[in-house]
Structure 1
């Protein structure tokens, strides 16, 4: 089985923390992010083998109950998604920059996976709800053509899509702020 990722977003912080504990105990998964998100919600993202992630998601949905706002499961996830969500992605040769923004965290995560699979790009970061009003967005880099292709693929994902941009030659200061 391939690698997968799942997310559960809840309206209760206390239930969110309890849900993350249940998800981790239910299966052999890695907690990629367990954190509060705007406005006063809690989000749990775990990754691992597809079967284990499915089991963790089932446990999370059961524990979260009436507090669940959104959830997602992406089997066969692109390998760059894990470090981009965790904020540990190393970018060796930044070039053109693409930014794609969504009203929902789940939509941003799904679209980032689509973008990474669509073209030869490097995901820089997937920002999930914190300090962005509960929105989600991701940044990526690569040659201009690849960035445009990846952004176009992500736009087609388009569930709760807000907007995007491609910056062919970003300034050094902008690059440094994103890395």
Structure 2
């Protein structure tokens, strides 16, 4: 099933995370993309599918969260790079500038990554979500300098407006050793 929409619920409880995942999957015809514990004792459930089914599943999951809901969202018409960059272990080759968005919140970072990919001609290289990051999340992207600057600005606005911005950086000509750390 090709995802046209994604939905995420972030919880403060691992036990509630399992219950919410089960509830979401039973609520509609959706596919489980990620369901796991994340740093700081939190849990996240990410699903994909038809927009209406994803909305219904997220609403049902949020209702089953038992007071443990941290955040939730649905992105319709999600940019294909967002799905591709999730958990990518071998990102594509860099093509120029390097952009990095970093957030204290997983849900907001995914929304920012989608906005960045839609704002300019960049390639999302990797999205890391709160594993061994103290609950933080980040996305790396590459493209020409102007495109990376525009994409980072679009993503940064979403993260800053939510009050969970850690940092946003554009490196116009990264040293090859820096890119070796990314890829």
* TM-score of the two chains, using structure 1 as the length reference: 0.91
**Secondary structure, aligned partner of 1:132:** coil
Whether 1:112 aligns to 2:113 is yes
What is the count of residue pairs matched by the alignment?
Answer: 178
Q: What's the counterpart of residue 73 of structure 2?
A: 72
Between 44-53 and 156-165, report the one with greater CA deviation: 156-165
| RMSD (Å), alpha carbons | 1.8
Q: What's the counterpart of residue 165 of structure 1?
A: 169
| Aligned-partner Cα distance in 2 for 1:29–1:88 | 25
How do 1:27-176 and structure 2 match up within 5 A? 27-87=28-88, 90-157=91-158, 158=160, 159=162, 160-176=164-180
TM-fit CA distance, 1:165: 1.0
TM-fit CA distance, 1:57: 0.5
**Secondary structure, aligned partner of 2:10:** strand
Between 36-45 and 152-161, report the one with greater CA deviation: 152-161
Extract unaligned runs of 5+ from structure 2. Answer: none
TM-fit CA distance, 1:36: 1.0
Extract unaligned runs of 5+ from structure 1. Answer: none
| Aligned-partner Cα distance in 1 for 2:12–2:69 | 6
Contact kept, 8 Å, 1:11 with 1:40, in 2: the verdict is: yes
